[in-house]
Structures are given as C-alpha cells and as structure tokens.
Amino acid sequence: MAINLPKKSTTTVGSIYAPLGLTDMPFPSNGFVNPYSDNPRINGKIYATLTAKSAIDKFERLLIRPDDFLARAQLAYLWSKGDSETGRGVGKTALLQYFRQRINHDWGNTEFSGKFSAAVVYVGFKTHVDRRYMEQLAFSALVDVCNNGVLEASRAVLRLNAMPEDKVTLIMEDDSAGPPGPDNLLKDEILKKHGVNPGKLDEEVKKTLVAGSVKPLVAHELAAGTFESYLKSMRKDQQFDPLYVPRDTKILDYSRTLLFDDIVNYLRAAGYGGGYLFIDDIENLVDKMVRKDRIQFAKEFGLCTVRPGYANTAYRFFSCVLTTHQQASIALSTAWGEAGLAAVGRLDPNSPNSVELPFPSKD
C-alpha cells in the first residue's frame, strides 16, 4: 500500500485580517474576559478607549480623582441599557478591565503621580450564587487578591522597609538569579547572600503588621508569603475556586473579616492609600434571591463597604463599583433603600454615582 506524504508548503498563508491592518481578530473567542490570561485578546488589554470616551471621563471624575482621592465616590454603578440578555456585550467588563490594568500595572504609581499606591480587586460572578452571598463575594475577592500580584508587591515593600538601606541597594542590584530589581526582595537566596536572614526579616514584617491591626496568625501568613496556602487549608478539598462545594464552608466564616479588616490593614501598612472593589455580573449574585435575602445582603454589603464596622469603612479604603442593568436593579432597589444604601449611592442609572454605557452604534 502506497503512503502519500504531505507536501511541504512553499507559500506563506496570510491572515484574513491583514486588509484591515490587523494580525488577528481582537475579540475573545468565547465572549468572556479572563484577567489572568497572558493573551491580550482575552485579558482585556486590547481596548478601544474612543468607543467609551464619555463613560471613561465620568468614571475618572467620579472614582479616580488623583488630586482629591479621598473625595472619590465610595459606591458607584456601571450600567448597560437593556436586560440580562440585551444588556450583555455592551462593554461593562471591558471597561472595568481597562481601569484594572491601568491602575494595577504599577499599583497606581503613574495614575496618582507617585503620591501613594492603589489597587483594584476584581470579582466576577459567571454563574449564580445560591447562599451566604456577602461571604462568597468576599472570598471571591480574596481569590483575586492572591492572583493579581498585590500580595507579593506589598510583601516586597514591607521587607524593603524592614532592611538597612545599604542592604537594600546591594540586593536590588544583584543580577545573579535573574534581572536586578524589586523581585530580588522576595528571593531568599539573594537575601542570604547579602547577610540578611529571611526568617528574622519576616518576623520584623509580622511585627509591623500586628502593630497595624492585622491579626497575628494572618500577619504571620502574609509576612511569610503563605496566605494563599492558609486560605486553602480551610477547604477540605484544598481547592481555591470561589464557587464552593456543599458543606465545605469554613472559609466563608472568615472571608469578610479577612478581606475588609486584615487585607485592608496589610495594604495600608505597605503604603496603599486606597483601592477599588470591582463587582461584575452582580445579577448572578442577586437574581435567585428572595426578598428577605436581598435585604440581608444589602445590609451586610453596607456594613462591609460604607457603614462603621470594618477597617475598610474606617479608612474609606475600597471604593465599590457594581456592574448591573435595569432588570437586576429592580430586584435590589427596595433592599438598597431599606439598608440605607440609597443615601450613599442611589441605585438608578440617572444618579450622580452612575456611569452608563450605551448600545454600540454603527460608528
């Protein structure tokens, strides 16, 4: 039996997008943004700002305010017209990822002209949540805190602050284990090479954190760089997925305190002047709630974000941005009023705290 071997191509196959001046299609293939992907088509780095200029301008006036950061809105909404179906694909998630990347790429150094650091924490609900709503929101935020790099950047700063200046210079200029720079502060072998004991250094960082009101056990895990493992240890399955298996809920007993007290105090100790909590696809959190659950969620949300009770509210640390559409807002508006949140930010696309994205035009 004769075997036909494949022919070696002698021509270059051009991209069908070349006539448009593109190398590939710029949109994600499945319609969802994954902020942890390295692919710019998927992680939100490809973004045409001119398509949402008015929304970006209002977002900046409402929430960025580099010259008056403390006066930024504590609670804001990013709206799309339409319902849960027609309101999809308008660009809410893309706009959030644009600001997330803009701030987190150097932790607000450029955005706020080096005056202080800031961070965006992103929560997205891709499927419906059925119980312990505020606790699950907080744990989803903790997952992003562990994935977005802010813990490592903060630990490096805290280590730097705990070392003599001459040691810092030698360590950061060392190129024996890769390019020199701040990453060396997290490489224990380089610290030891220059006479710094990593264990003792972590103890100094822990003391700083405890003095800044981080609980001692949590301070130990953060100083040692093992906070994610600490969270996983509370799960029987040792997984780190923000959608939980039945009855494996120990982590939910602590998620609110860990996020709104300990992580806030940790970031403040590392020099962060504030941050943003972006809560995407809020309809997947609230659509299945009965009225009693909506009121309870609204009260707990207010306690964590705008009412006295946590370090987050004491220091006005996180500004919260919720993406929604009018159908989802109907389910929450009554509960928002009963919880007193309407006085902070009225749940209405026409309120001063709202940014609305229109349907795309042909242009």
CA proximity to 89, closest of 80, 99, 98? 80
DSSP structural state of residue 60: I
CA proximity to 344, closest of 312, 305, 311, 292? 305
Residue 12 has pLDDT above 60, yes or no: no
What pLDDT sits at residue 96?
A: 93
Residues above pLDDT 90, as percent of the chain: 57
- Tell me the three state secondary structure of residue 118: strand
Express each pLDDT in 113-148 by its tens digit: 999 999 999 998 777 777 888 999 999 999 999 999
Rounded (5°) CA angle 334-336-339:
110
Q: What number is the average pLDDT over the span 27-53?
A: 74
Helix 150-161 / helix 133-147 crossing angle, nearest 10 deg: 60
Weakest-pLDDT range from 67-71, 84-88, 313-317: 84-88
What pLDDT sits at residue 196?
A: 95
Give the H or E element holding residue 357.
strand 354-357
**Cβ(119)–Cβ(150) under 8 Å?**
yes
**Cβ(133)–Cβ(289) under 8 Å?**
yes
- Tell me the three state secondary structure of residue 94: helix
CA–CA distance, 46 with 17 (Å, rounded to integer): 16
pTM for this model (two decimals): 0.89
**Cβ(81)–Cβ(90) under 8 Å?**
yes
Q: Domain spans of the chain?
A: 44-357
DSSP per-residue string spanning 298-313: HHHHHHHHTSTTSHHH
Own/partner pairs, 112-117, CB within 8 angstroms, 24+ separation: 112/66, 112/69, 112/273, 113/66, 115/66, 115/69, 115/273, 116/69, 116/271, 116/272, 116/273, 116/274, 117/267, 117/270, 117/271, 117/272, 117/273
Q: What number is the average pLDDT over the span 323-333?
A: 77
Residue 87 has pLDDT above 60, yes or no: no
**pLDDT band at residue 243 using 50, 70 and 90 as cut-offs:** low
